[in-house]
Amino acid sequence: MTYSDFTLTSPLYDLENGAAPLLTLTIVWHPDRARIGEQFVGGAGGDVIELNRFAPLFMHPGREGLPLGHGGISRQPLRLVREADERVSMTLPASPMAVEVNGRVLTHPIHFSAAQIAEGQILTLGRAVVLCLHWMQRLPAPNTVPGLVGVGSASIGVREQIHMVARTSLPVLLVGETGTGKEIAARAIHALSGRAQGPLVAVNMAALGEATATAELFGAVEGAYPGAGAAREGLFAQADGGTLFLDEIGNAPAAVQPMLLRAIEGGDYRPIGASEDRRSRARLIAASDQDLDAAAFNQALLHRLEGFVIRMPLLRQRREDVGVLIVDLLKQQGIDADLPAALVAELAAHDWPGN
């Protein structure tokens, strides 16, 4: 058991823990780009889904539902049955429509374990429409957050947590592997907070050397050390009234960790060579891809940083989001590309080491 078991580690992260998950189909790719991200959410048990050109209805939250509709989809149903042990059986339609699972063409019925559904199974129908078969632990919600797109439970949960904590002054610790979007989440928390008009100052703690870290963070008065010809404003002063984002906090030099603890507890810090304390009203957000409970890290500091913990999900845990991520990336780059369904299916089924 770790200290984080007792913090405000988002209660929404496991909000539905213990409840039966919902069997869901998400449109990962469709010739009509507007359909990408639409979902059909089944019940919590005993589901039978008959999937064809005309049923079921897929929808974005709050919008009208539509069938897949594409001419390459068979009128005869592909049948998905949720069984008592949470396995899901899939029976092919009585038609020549090609059905692929994770890029492999099926010729006979197949069973998926509950764990396989949790990983997300990529179905390609008629070599044109790509779906993800997965569990949902919460209902779809249009809880937008700048820079964080996604339609699955993990993405919805992270955005709920960000909305919950943004308006508070709690320190936030973002944990997750490299590439999971921790800095994007930090910027979103700042943008949605009451400090949005204040500065957002970011620093990579791994880039601070032992000799310079204290001056970088807390500043120094003129002549405080050899070479300090002028007073130096630290990052805490620069972030006053805004947000200070400490990335790679697990790599913070050991000497500054007790100083960070004091600054978090009361907002007080002392620049090098100063005769009195100064105060910063900066809100702290930290991020780490390390297990700080097991690392040689100041545990008292960790306890303060864990005012609210958000765990960022891995990309391979968000296969249902791959389509909307691709659309968002193409939009950002100003590219209007018609990607082959086979390519999108391969991207969605990939494990993405390094995210």
User: Which of 355, 206, 203 lies closest to 285, judged by CA?
Assistant: 203
Q: What is the mean pLDDT of the chain?
A: 90
Residue at 88: amino acid letter: V
* Predicted confidence band of residue 64 (pLDDT cuts 50, 70, 90): very high
**Position 225 pLDDT exceeds 80:** no
Please list, in sequence order, all residues whose beta carbon lies within 8 angstroms of the beta carbon of residue 312, skipping any fewer than 6 positions away.
158, 174, 175, 176, 177, 180, 181, 182, 185
Q: Which residue has the tokens 């004091």?
A: 262
What are the strands, taking DSSP E only, across the chain? 22-29, 39-41, 48-51, 78-82, 88-91, 99-101, 104-105, 110-112, 121-125, 129-136, 172-175, 200-204, 243-247, 268-269, 278-279, 283-288, 308-311
Distance in angstroms (rounded) separating the CA atoms of residues 301 and 257: 7
Residue 190: its pLDDT value, please?
Answer: 97
Q: Alpha-carbon Rg of the chain, whole angstroms? A: 24
Residue 187: its pLDDT value, please?
Answer: 97
67-71, 157-161, 336-340: least confidently modelled range: 336-340
Residue 229: its pLDDT value, please?
Answer: 60
Q: Which is more confident, 192 or 234?
A: 192
**Position 8 pLDDT exceeds 80:** no
Residue 12: its pLDDT value, please?
Answer: 42
* Predicted confidence band of residue 54 (pLDDT cuts 50, 70, 90): very high
* Predicted confidence band of residue 47 (pLDDT cuts 50, 70, 90): confident
Which DSSP state fits 78?
A: E
What percentage of the chain has pLDDT greater than the value 70? 91
* Predicted confidence band of residue 183 (pLDDT cuts 50, 70, 90): very high
**Position 3 pLDDT exceeds 60:** no
Residue 53: its pLDDT value, please?
Answer: 97
Residue at 302: amino acid letter: L
Please list, in sequence order, all residues whose beta carbon lies within 8 angstroms of the beta carbon of residue 135, skipping any fewer than 6 positions away.
21, 22, 23, 24, 117, 118, 153
Q: Which is more confident, 219 or 153?
A: 153
11-25, 211-225, 282-296: least confidently modelled range: 11-25
* Predicted confidence band of residue 266 (pLDDT cuts 50, 70, 90): confident
* Predicted confidence band of residue 10 (pLDDT cuts 50, 70, 90): very low
Which DSSP state fits 30?
A: -
DSSP string over 222-276: TTSSTT--S-B--HHHHTTTSEEEEETGGGS-GGGHHHHHHHHHHSEE--BT-SS
- Alpha carbon 37 to its chain centroid, in Å, reads 16
| Spatial contact of 145 and 136, defined as CB atoms under 8 Å apart | no
**Position 60 pLDDT exceeds 90:** yes
Please list, in sequence order, all residues whose beta carbon lies within 8 angstroms of the beta carbon of residue 94, skipping any fewer than 6 positions away.
76
CA terminus-to-terminus distance, the chain: 28
Distance in angstroms (rounded) separating the CA atoms of residues 26 and 149: 14
Please list, in sequence order, all residues whose beta carbon lies within 8 angstroms of the beta carbon of residue 16, skipping any fewer than 6 positions away.
137, 138
Residue 125: its pLDDT value, please?
Answer: 98
| Spatial contact of 175 and 308, defined as CB atoms under 8 Å apart | no
Q: What would the mean pLDDT of 165-183 be, rounded to a whole number?
A: 96
Distance in angstroms (rounded) separating the CA atoms of residues 156 and 346: 24
**Position 152 pLDDT exceeds 60:** yes
Residue 224: its pLDDT value, please?
Answer: 60
Residue 275: its pLDDT value, please?
Answer: 75
Q: What would the mean pLDDT of 86-111 be, rounded to a whole number?
A: 95
**Position 2 pLDDT exceeds 60:** no
Task: List pLDDT tens digits, range 228-239.
Answer: 566 778 899 999
Residue 223: its pLDDT value, please?
Answer: 59
Strands 22-29 and 39-41 turn out to be antiparallel
16-30, 161-175, 193-207, 334-348: least confidently modelled range: 16-30
| Spatial contact of 88 and 115, defined as CB atoms under 8 Å apart | no
Which DSSP state fits 147?
A: T
